[in-house]
A and B are shown apart, each in its own frame.
Chain A
């Protein structure tokens, strides 16, 4: 096994199977060579600038390894393009439940996002409110830890509590704990149709109240977002319904009646609805101008609007809400600290946490890209890093300095 050393010494390591992946990592571990782990590299701009000597990409570890539609399970090698998995599922009327966002529009990156990348970033999308994030659908991972050992956690069955749930531990670890070899997900049938209820002209606080009312109703709202005045001429408050056509029609009627106190509403049909939610999923509203910094804030919905108001008072920001107000996307000028002090102060004490998703590397090198953890959590975080990757060869410093 030549560990994929094709293209010269400093070029990316491109293992083609798990054995090559193991060998490549083991060699790096032995030499103490820090590696930038990536799939397609489309999210390489997120995080603190990597301090790696070489990159190791799983993009040649491709192929669907398991697909049983009647068991609602799909497995793929980590470098398999997301697009291939989604197309394969679509052929059988199924989908990834968590609606993973595509960061390319926001980050201006190209290449193919991979399933491993989806796991590394714990992606999700508007359906997060009912179907959870990647972590909630991920049921099995084969990976290589920083010692160069192949490790399996989880499997191919939906319910599995055998041993410690390392699947969750590595999901969203941004390539700092392990290099993924294969990932397995539970999937869901694609809804027959969808529709979106649109309320107009609500301010942020009232819009979030409307979204909460919808999400707290029995009508199975599968996505709830608000596009405020900073991104739309007339603010739009959006609630998506999915399912069998007769059921969607019924629930749309009931939801309209429930939300009547928030003004009259319009109904978008499936095709329009799909385009709109794709834009919300990928945050295309904030993609331009490219020079702006992008923040992603996760917060309890009832505390979102006040935090945003404080930011708008302090800085020229644009924003939108997904997850019923539980996810705030913000665009701020990329000067200075890219708004870090303003954003974090605005949400201080609310239990929210902010991630700087897009900013020039110089800024990401000096501000906390990920919310700095409290002391005991930081100790645990450092310990977990060391337990997987004792020599610190995977994406060192990408999430936190020294981890």
Chain B
């Protein structure tokens, strides 16, 4: 694929590479600086592997102070910086540029402090999402947002993308579960935003930082909310003959005043792919599967499930199967959360992330199918049904340039459809490079200008992750305003 353009690298930066590398070498230990071509190669992409760019250098700092020193130096030298967590972005959020230094936070992976009484926890930005929950699980707590890549993705990356997950129907997304961050601004200034109190003073800078895709600063520490684990949790599999029936059941459940912890949808191709990997006992003879999870005591779960099952029956559910053990529960979620990777067993894929009003579900499912078929491709659908966040996985052969282009075009058509029906381009993965050029389908120039003006307050020179989020043309800068 090559439809998405990168800015032409700055030749003057490339010519000063040796000088820049030498400056960085003075700031961090040798094992924290990657400069050989062989080794840089491994950082040329993230989980959107169709796009790749070699970085100028990779720095792997171990402290906030090192991050500040590196940013200060890059700022002084006029060098762009691309922050990177675990590199699991599906939208190319961590893809480098030839004239940019990659700032990786993999070495900053520690828990700094846990406050059980206040239900807060301070962690370094490079810790994985799941490690946060693991660190407090024995005491009965967890960190709620659970993106499917939670095993590997970092909290810093979650903050950059405002990541969601299957369970955010009840618990909210990243922005609802972060209380404060320590962040380094583009010029190396260390700033604390928010804290460990619920309301932060002044403007909601934290709200702006979460989801800013590494363009406002580099978050090095975060104070997150931890929540008490429910007494129990039980996912139940509901198999339907049609996607429409499943969609109607979702609407009816919410309409009845029930908000389950999670409501996940899979279509037949996705069921088959995930079952092959996780052996979770998903029904293979249905067209659509809902995984609905309830929480609480056994009696509470029984009561909630009785209500849900009754509604599902009214909508023609064919099979209902409850998880009977912790192992089954784990397998059910493992299958769902590995859906993207497991698709790799079948084909290459690109994963879309559009969100739609749930009432539009039947229409959108039908249209998506038509779109993908019109390109002669196949699609597997998994999505968060409760909040309309779709993840169609468009399958193709990455070694076939023609098919790759088709896959990308089909994806763009689907995202445009999402916006047309009142939704948005991305629900939880972020814009990155992938959806950058579609932004004008969702926003007017005035909308984008206002975003870019706020962005410029933090980084007026477009130094931080500059190739992402905003279309390359028509970028707002203080100079463009004056002109």
Binding site for B on A (CB under 8 A): 68-73, 93-94, 122, 124, 128-129, 132-133, 135-136, 145, 149-153, 155-169, 171-173, 177, 188-190, 192, 209, 212, 215-218, 220, 244, 246-247, 250, 254, 298-302, 323, 326-327, 351-353, 355, 370-371, 373-374, 376-377, 380-381, 383-384, 386-388, 399-400
Question: Chain A's nearest CB lies how many Å from the CB of B315?
Answer: 13
Given A165-B211, A216-B228, A351 and B197 contact (CB-CB distance below 8 Å): yes
Answer whether residue B172 sits at the interface, using C-beta atoms and an 8 A cutoff.
yes
Question: Chain A's nearest CB lies how many Å from the CB of B298?
Answer: 10
**Which segment of B10-18, B79-87, B188-196 sits at the interface?**
B188-196
12 A–B contact pairs at CB < 8 A? A162-B431, A163-B470, A164-B212, A168-B210, A169-B207, A212-B116, A247-B300, A298-B200, A326-B197, A327-B199, A351-B196, A383-B458
Q: A189 contacts which of B172, B258, B384, B448 (Cβ < 8 Å)?
A: B258
Interface contact A387-B257, CB-CB below 8 Å: no
In the complex, A384 Cα to B207 Cα: how many Å? 13
Q: A159 contacts which of B192, B203, B204, B427 (Cβ < 8 Å)?
A: B427
Given A71-B359, A164-B455, A387-B454, A171 and B204 contact (CB-CB distance below 8 Å): yes
Question: Chain A's nearest CB lies how many Å from the CB of B452?
Answer: 8
Interface contact B388-A169, CB-CB below 8 Å: no
Residues of A contacting B425 in the complex (Cβ-Cβ under 8 angstroms):
162
Given A122-B204, A171-B204, A163 and B439 contact (CB-CB distance below 8 Å): yes
Given A323-B198, A377-B193, A399-B202, A384 and B454 contact (CB-CB distance below 8 Å): yes
Most chain A beta-carbon contacts within 10 A, residue among B228, B230, B442: B228
Question: Chain B's nearest CB lies how many Å from the CB of A392?
Answer: 15
In the complex, A244 Cα to B303 Cα: how many Å? 9
Q: A161 contacts which of B118, B211, B259 (Cβ < 8 Å)?
A: B211
Answer whether residue B119 sits at the interface, using C-beta atoms and an 8 A cutoff.
yes
Interface contact A68-B189, CB-CB below 8 Å: no
Interface contact A302-B118, CB-CB below 8 Å: yes
In the complex, A215 Cα to B83 Cα: how many Å? 36
Given A158-B387, A212-B118, A218-B231, A299 and B207 contact (CB-CB distance below 8 Å): no
Interface contact A145-B204, CB-CB below 8 Å: no
Known: A153-B447, A161-B162. 17 other contacts (CB 8 A): A69-B255, A155-B422, A157-B355, A157-B357, A158-B387, A160-B427, A162-B443, A164-B455, A169-B205, A169-B454, A209-B117, A216-B140, A218-B231, A244-B300, A353-B195, A377-B202, A387-B450
Interface contact A161-B427, CB-CB below 8 Å: yes
Interface contact B454-A377, CB-CB below 8 Å: no
Q: Which residue of B lies closest to A171 (CB)?
A: B204
Interface contact B117-A192, CB-CB below 8 Å: no
Given A70-B359, A155-B422, A190-B257, A380 and B431 contact (CB-CB distance below 8 Å): no
Answer whether residue B185 sits at the interface, using C-beta atoms and an 8 A cutoff.
yes
Answer whether residue B451 sits at the interface, using C-beta atoms and an 8 A cutoff.
yes
Residues of A contacting B388 in the complex (Cβ-Cβ under 8 angstroms):
71, 157-159
Interface contact A327-B384, CB-CB below 8 Å: no
Q: A157 contacts which of B197, B208, B423, B443 (Cβ < 8 Å)?
A: B423
Question: Chain A's nearest CB lies how many Å from the CB of B326?
Answer: 16
Q: B457 contacts which of A72, A167, A244, A384 (Cβ < 8 Å)?
A: A384
Given A192-B257, A246-B303, A164 and B297 contact (CB-CB distance below 8 Å): no
Question: Chain B's nearest CB lies how many Å from the CB of A96?
Answer: 15
Residues of A contacting B168 in the complex (Cβ-Cβ under 8 angstroms):
159
Interface contact A168-B447, CB-CB below 8 Å: no
Question: Chain A's nearest CB lies how many Å from the CB of B212?
Answer: 6
Q: B458 contacts which of A151, A250, A380 (Cβ < 8 Å)?
A: A380
Interface contact A161-B357, CB-CB below 8 Å: no
In order of increasing CB-CB distance, the 8 nearest A-B pairs are: A168-B207, A383-B457, A189-B257, A159-B427, A387-B453, A353-B201, A298-B199, A371-B201
Instruction: Tally A-B pairs: CB < 8 A.
Output: 264
Q: Which residue of A lies closest to B197 (CB)?
A: A298
Given A161-B427, A165-B208, A387-B450, A70 and B297 contact (CB-CB distance below 8 Å): no
Interface contact A132-B207, CB-CB below 8 Å: no
In the complex, A387 Cα to B387 Cα: how many Å? 32
Residues of B contacting A386 in the complex (Cβ-Cβ under 8 angstroms):
457
Interface contact A163-B469, CB-CB below 8 Å: yes
In the complex, A177 Cα to B451 Cα: how many Å? 13
Answer whether residue B76 sits at the interface, using C-beta atoms and an 8 A cutoff.
no
Answer whether residue B104 sits at the interface, using C-beta atoms and an 8 A cutoff.
no
1/0 contact trace for B83-106 toward A, CB 8 Å?
Answer: 000000000000000000000000
Given A217-B228, A373-B202, A380-B458, A188 and B359 contact (CB-CB distance below 8 Å): no
Instruction: For chain B, residues 105 to 157, give those with C-beta under 8 angstroms from any C-beta of chain A.
Output: 115-120, 140-141
Answer whether residue B284 sits at the interface, using C-beta atoms and an 8 A cutoff.
no
Q: Which residue of B lies closest to A297 (CB)?
A: B197
Residues of B contacting A351 in the complex (Cβ-Cβ under 8 angstroms):
195-197
Residues of B contacting A246 in the complex (Cβ-Cβ under 8 angstroms):
299-300, 303
Answer whether residue B61 sits at the interface, using C-beta atoms and an 8 A cutoff.
no
Residues of B contacting A145 in the complex (Cβ-Cβ under 8 angstroms):
450
1/0 contact trace for B467-481 toward A, CB 8 Å?
Answer: 001100000000000
Residues of B contacting A381 in the complex (Cβ-Cβ under 8 angstroms):
202-203, 205
Q: B161 contacts which of A161, A163, A171, A190 (Cβ < 8 Å)?
A: A161
Q: Which residue of B lies closest to A189 (CB)?
A: B257
1/0 contact trace for B288-304 toward A, CB 8 Å?
Answer: 00000000110110011
Interface contact B357-A73, CB-CB below 8 Å: yes
Interface contact A161-B426, CB-CB below 8 Å: yes
